[in-house]
Structures are given as structure tokens and as C-alpha cells.
Amino acid sequence: MDFQTAVFYFLSAILVFASLRVITARNPVHAALHLILAFFTCGGIWALLQAEFLAIAIILVYVGAVMVLFLFVVMMLDINIDRIREGFWNYLPLGALLGLLMALEMSLVLGSKYFQIPAAEALVPAGVSNTKSIGALMFTDYVYPFELASLILLVGMIAAIVLTYRGPKKSKYTNPNEQVFVKAKDRVRVLQMPVEKD
């Protein structure tokens, strides 16, 4: 077993353990933390496959931004764990069906011809920048799917704002511009008074 294989098994073991803990941890914050660990290890495995751009991107986007907000929300929620556990048997058939579907999809993808490339051919020649090749592909061959995906994301963003918008706030609002441009003259009046003499 060479070094690369050893690293792969090490990272995979952590990844499997972390993923299992995500669904078995009692505390939702612990589950979210294990999800972060899973993303980070996944980045490590991608780096091992010489996909350094994707590896860094998953850490930057998921670990650095998405999970921070996720953790933020999970920490604010007051979750009663016992009540979540109650409906286990009711949800089991639906969950099992979804799990089966996902397993089927994964086997279809992994069994397709794109995954049957021998490791030696998949090696990236030296001097080729991963970032550049992905960028070139994204803006030439896959430009329409890429633009479509960004459009869907934009629609999702606007939809989230529209769904949660509750009309203008009825709070006292001071315009920061006016605050900044205030001068002492507007606020303080210096009075000249004759000195009192008795």
C-alpha cells in the first residue's frame, strides 16, 4: 500500500465516521460540527485526486460560509431532542424510500463509463492549472448550464427575501448621512450673556 492509498483510507475513515455522527449525534450542534468535519475531509480527498480548485472551493464555500450560517441558526434554535425522536417509525418508510433512491442514483453514476478511467490516465500533466481549466470549460462548453444555475440561485435568493419580508419596520430610523454631516453649529448654541453685576 503506497502513501497515497494510506492517506485515502485515513481520510475516508474520518469521512465515514463524521457522516455517521451527523445523523446519530443527539445534540444538533454536534451534528453540524461533524458535518463541517465531513466537508473538510471531503476537500482533503479531492485534493488527493489533484482537484485542488474544487478542494479549496468546498472548504471556502461550505465550511467557510454555508456552515457558519447553518451553525448560527442551529445554535439559536431551542430544539427539544426527545420530541424529534418521537416519530421515528412513522418517518421510516419515507426515509428508507429516499435512501434507496439515492443509493440507486449513486450506483448509476459510479457505474457509468466516466468513472471507469484508469488512475494513470486521469493524472493531470504538470504545469496545467486546475483553476484555469475549470474556468475555461465553464465559460465555453458549459456556459449555458452555468448561467442557468446562477439564474436559479438568483431566483432562490430573491424568493427567500420575498418570503420572509414582513413590510417596512416600524422603528425609529435615523438617516446615517444626516448623522455624519451633522455640525456642532446645528446642535449647540453658544449664548452671549452680559455678566451679572450686583
Partner 1 sequence: MDALMNFGTGIFGGAWPAVWTLIKIVLIVAPLMLGVAYLTYFERKVIGYMQVRIGPNRVGPWGLIQPIADGLKLLLKEIIVPTTASKGIFIIAPMLAIAPALAAWAVVPFTDSLVVANIDASLLYIMAITSMGVYGIILSGWASNSKYAFLGAMRSAAQMVSYEISMGFSLICVLMVSNSLNLVDIVNVQDQGRFAGWGLSFLSWNWLPLFPMFIVYLISGTAELNRAPFDVAEGESEIVAGFHVEYSGMAFALFFLAEYANMILVAALTSLLFLGGWLSPVGFLPDGILWLFAKMSAILFLFLWFRATFPRYRYDQLMRLGWKVFLPICLIWLVVVGVWMMSPLNIWK
Q: Which listed residue (72, 91, 142, 146) binds partner 1 by CB under 8 A? A: 72
Helix pair angle (28-48, 67-76), 10° resolution: 170
Interface with partner 1 (CB under 8 A), residue from 6, 16, 20, 75: 75
C-beta of 39: minimal distance to partner 1 in Å? 11
- 22 within 8 A of 36, measured Cβ to Cβ: no
Question: Mutual orientation of helices 28-48 and 3-24 as an angle, nearest 10°?
Answer: 160
3-state helix, strand, coil in the chain (%, to 5): 75, 0, 25
Binder among 16, 68, 84, 153 for partner 1 (CB under 8 A): 68
Residue 97 vs 143, nearer CB to partner 1: 143
One symbol per residue from 28 to 67: x for binding partner 1 (CB under 8 A), - otherwise; what is it?
-x---x--x---------------xx--xx-xx--xxx--
Identify whether the C-beta of residue 50 lies closer than 8 Å to the C-beta of residue 130.
yes
Residue 138 engages partner 1 in binding (rule: CB under 8 A) = no
Three-class secondary structure of residue 130 per DSSP: helix
User: Is residue 152 a contact point for partner 1 (CB under 8 A)?
Assistant: no
At 80, give phi and psi (nearest 5°).
-95, 110
- The residue among 12 and 57 lying less far from partner 1, judged by its C-beta, is 57
Q: Which residues contribute to the site for partner 1 (CB under 8 A)?
A: 29, 33, 36, 52-53, 56-57, 59-60, 63-65, 68-69, 71-72, 75-76, 129-131, 176
